Amino acid sequence: MKRNMLFVLLVLTALSASYAQGRSWSWQDEPPPRSTMQGRDGRGSPPPAPPQQPAEKVTVTGNLGIVRGMIALTENGVTYYTPEILRYAGFIEGLKDGAKVTLEGYAVPANPQDGNSKMLRVSKLTIGSKDYDLAAAVPPPPNAPNHPPDPVEPSLRNRD
Protein backbone atom coordinates (compact mmCIF):
# COMPACT_ATOMS: atom_id res chain seq x y z
CA MET A 1 0.00 0.00 0.00
CA LYS A 2 2.81 2.40 0.87
CA ARG A 3 4.55 1.51 -2.36
CA ASN A 4 1.43 2.25 -4.46
CA MET A 5 0.85 5.60 -2.74
CA LEU A 6 4.48 6.54 -3.23
CA PHE A 7 4.24 5.61 -6.92
CA VAL A 8 1.05 7.67 -7.42
CA LEU A 9 2.66 10.63 -5.62
CA LEU A 10 5.74 10.37 -7.82
CA VAL A 11 3.63 10.25 -11.02
CA LEU A 12 1.58 13.28 -9.92
CA THR A 13 4.77 15.21 -9.11
CA ALA A 14 6.22 14.44 -12.55
CA LEU A 15 2.98 15.47 -14.29
CA SER A 16 2.71 18.72 -12.36
CA ALA A 17 6.37 19.55 -13.08
CA SER A 18 5.90 19.01 -16.81
CA TYR A 19 2.67 21.03 -16.83
CA ALA A 20 4.41 23.92 -15.06
CA GLN A 21 6.90 24.23 -17.91
CA GLY A 22 4.36 26.11 -20.02
CA ARG A 23 3.66 25.52 -23.63
CA SER A 24 5.44 26.60 -26.74
CA TRP A 25 4.11 27.49 -30.16
CA SER A 26 2.69 24.47 -31.95
CA TRP A 27 1.06 23.81 -35.30
CA GLN A 28 -2.41 24.38 -33.80
CA ASP A 29 -1.68 27.96 -32.74
CA GLU A 30 -1.49 30.96 -35.04
CA PRO A 31 2.01 31.63 -36.32
CA PRO A 32 3.79 34.77 -35.10
CA PRO A 33 3.32 37.91 -37.22
CA ARG A 34 5.35 37.95 -40.42
CA SER A 35 7.20 41.12 -39.42
CA THR A 36 9.00 39.28 -36.61
CA MET A 37 10.15 36.45 -38.90
CA GLN A 38 13.12 37.93 -40.73
CA GLY A 39 15.25 34.99 -41.76
CA ARG A 40 14.38 32.05 -43.98
CA ASP A 41 14.58 29.78 -40.98
CA GLY A 42 12.02 31.86 -39.05
CA ARG A 43 14.36 32.50 -36.15
CA GLY A 44 15.01 36.09 -37.15
CA SER A 45 18.27 37.71 -38.03
CA PRO A 46 19.95 40.90 -36.91
CA PRO A 47 19.47 44.01 -39.01
CA PRO A 48 22.26 44.72 -41.48
CA ALA A 49 25.14 46.78 -40.14
CA PRO A 50 25.40 50.34 -41.44
CA PRO A 51 28.20 50.89 -43.96
CA GLN A 52 31.47 51.95 -42.40
CA GLN A 53 33.17 55.10 -43.54
CA PRO A 54 36.84 54.69 -44.32
CA ALA A 55 39.22 55.83 -41.61
CA GLU A 56 41.33 58.86 -42.46
CA LYS A 57 44.88 59.36 -41.25
CA VAL A 58 45.10 62.65 -39.31
CA THR A 59 47.56 64.60 -37.19
CA VAL A 60 46.08 66.92 -34.56
CA THR A 61 47.70 69.25 -32.05
CA GLY A 62 46.16 70.77 -28.96
CA ASN A 63 45.52 70.42 -25.24
CA LEU A 64 44.05 67.24 -23.80
CA GLY A 65 40.81 67.62 -21.91
CA ILE A 66 37.81 65.70 -20.65
CA VAL A 67 34.71 65.90 -22.88
CA ARG A 68 31.62 63.83 -22.02
CA GLY A 69 33.70 61.75 -19.63
CA MET A 70 36.33 60.78 -22.23
CA ILE A 71 39.82 62.05 -23.00
CA ALA A 72 39.54 64.32 -26.02
CA LEU A 73 41.34 66.97 -28.02
CA THR A 74 39.59 69.75 -29.95
CA GLU A 75 41.06 71.24 -33.12
CA ASN A 76 39.30 73.51 -35.67
CA GLY A 77 35.89 72.83 -34.10
CA VAL A 78 36.26 69.04 -34.38
CA THR A 79 36.49 67.02 -31.16
CA TYR A 80 38.70 63.95 -31.38
CA TYR A 81 37.91 61.36 -28.68
CA THR A 82 40.89 59.17 -27.74
CA PRO A 83 39.70 56.53 -25.24
CA GLU A 84 42.71 54.21 -25.53
CA ILE A 85 45.12 56.88 -24.23
CA LEU A 86 43.65 56.36 -20.77
CA ARG A 87 45.62 53.13 -20.37
CA TYR A 88 48.89 55.10 -20.59
CA ALA A 89 47.95 57.70 -17.94
CA GLY A 90 50.40 57.39 -15.08
CA PHE A 91 52.96 55.57 -17.24
CA ILE A 92 53.84 58.36 -19.68
CA GLU A 93 55.31 61.43 -18.02
CA GLY A 94 53.26 64.54 -18.75
CA LEU A 95 50.15 62.74 -20.00
CA LYS A 96 47.48 64.57 -18.01
CA ASP A 97 44.57 66.97 -18.35
CA GLY A 98 45.64 70.17 -20.14
CA ALA A 99 48.87 68.71 -21.59
CA LYS A 100 49.90 70.07 -25.02
CA VAL A 101 50.18 67.05 -27.30
CA THR A 102 50.34 66.06 -30.94
CA LEU A 103 48.38 62.94 -31.86
CA GLU A 104 48.69 60.99 -35.08
CA GLY A 105 46.31 58.20 -35.99
CA TYR A 106 43.15 57.10 -37.76
CA ALA A 107 39.89 59.00 -37.29
CA VAL A 108 36.35 57.79 -37.93
CA PRO A 109 33.10 59.64 -37.19
CA ALA A 110 32.01 59.09 -33.59
CA ASN A 111 28.38 59.88 -34.35
CA PRO A 112 27.02 59.74 -37.91
CA GLN A 113 24.59 62.60 -37.22
CA ASP A 114 27.30 64.87 -35.78
CA GLY A 115 30.15 65.80 -38.10
CA ASN A 116 32.04 67.60 -35.33
CA SER A 117 33.11 64.54 -33.32
CA LYS A 118 35.47 61.76 -34.32
CA MET A 119 37.04 58.74 -32.63
CA LEU A 120 40.81 58.76 -33.00
CA ARG A 121 42.91 55.62 -32.82
CA VAL A 122 46.26 57.03 -31.81
CA SER A 123 49.35 55.48 -33.41
CA LYS A 124 51.86 58.18 -32.40
CA LEU A 125 51.84 60.49 -29.38
CA THR A 126 54.15 63.49 -28.95
CA ILE A 127 54.42 65.30 -25.62
CA GLY A 128 56.94 68.14 -25.69
CA SER A 129 59.95 66.71 -27.53
CA LYS A 130 59.27 63.06 -26.70
CA ASP A 131 57.63 60.76 -29.25
CA TYR A 132 55.78 57.59 -28.25
CA ASP A 133 55.01 54.98 -30.90
CA LEU A 134 51.71 53.35 -29.99
CA ALA A 135 51.18 51.61 -33.35
CA ALA A 136 52.26 48.21 -32.01
CA ALA A 137 49.78 48.45 -29.13
CA VAL A 138 46.93 49.81 -31.25
CA PRO A 139 46.91 48.45 -34.84
CA PRO A 140 45.05 50.45 -37.51
CA PRO A 141 41.35 49.66 -37.95
CA PRO A 142 40.43 47.22 -40.71
CA ASN A 143 38.72 49.96 -42.74
CA ALA A 144 41.88 52.12 -42.83
CA PRO A 145 43.33 52.87 -46.25
CA ASN A 146 46.29 50.67 -47.22
CA HIS A 147 45.61 48.37 -44.26
CA PRO A 148 48.06 45.46 -44.39
CA PRO A 149 46.62 41.93 -44.40
CA ASP A 150 46.21 40.02 -41.16
CA PRO A 151 49.64 38.65 -40.07
CA VAL A 152 48.11 35.40 -38.78
CA GLU A 153 48.63 32.49 -41.12
CA PRO A 154 45.38 31.14 -42.63
CA SER A 155 46.28 27.65 -41.41
CA LEU A 156 46.36 28.91 -37.79
CA ARG A 157 43.25 31.10 -38.01
CA ASN A 158 40.62 28.33 -38.35
CA ARG A 159 42.16 25.80 -36.04
CA ASP A 160 39.65 23.44 -34.38
Q: Is position 85 within any domain? A: yes
Most confident of 6-15, 47-56, 96-105, 137-146: 96-105
Q: What distance in Å separates the CA atoms of residue 120 and residue 59, rounded to the nearest whole number?
A: 10
63 Cβ contact list (under 8 Å, min separation 6):
73, 98, 99, 100, 101
73 is a domain residue = yes
Q: Residue 36: is its pLDDT beyond 70? A: no
Residue 60: inside a domain: yes
Q: How many domains does the chain have?
A: 1
Q: What stretch of H or E contains 155?
A: helix 154-157
Question: How confident is the prediction for the chain on average, in pLDDT?
Answer: 76
Q: Is residue 13 situated within a structural domain?
A: no
Domain assignment present for 65: yes
Q: What is the pTM of this model?
A: 0.56
Instruction: Give residue 33's pLDDT.
Output: 57
Return the minimum-mean-pLDDT range out of 34-38, 65-69, 117-121, 154-158. 154-158
Whether 121 is covered by a domain: the verdict is yes
* pLDDT for 111 beyond 50: yes
Q: Is residue 39, in this structure, part of any structural domain at all?
A: no
CATH of the domain at 101: 2.40.50.140
What's the pLDDT at 27? 56
Distance between CA 123 and CA 133 in Å, rounded? Answer: 6
Q: What is the DSSP letter of 23?
A: -
Write out the residue range of the structural domain in which residue 118 sits: 56-133
The mean pLDDT value for 66-82 works out to 90
38 falls within a domain: no
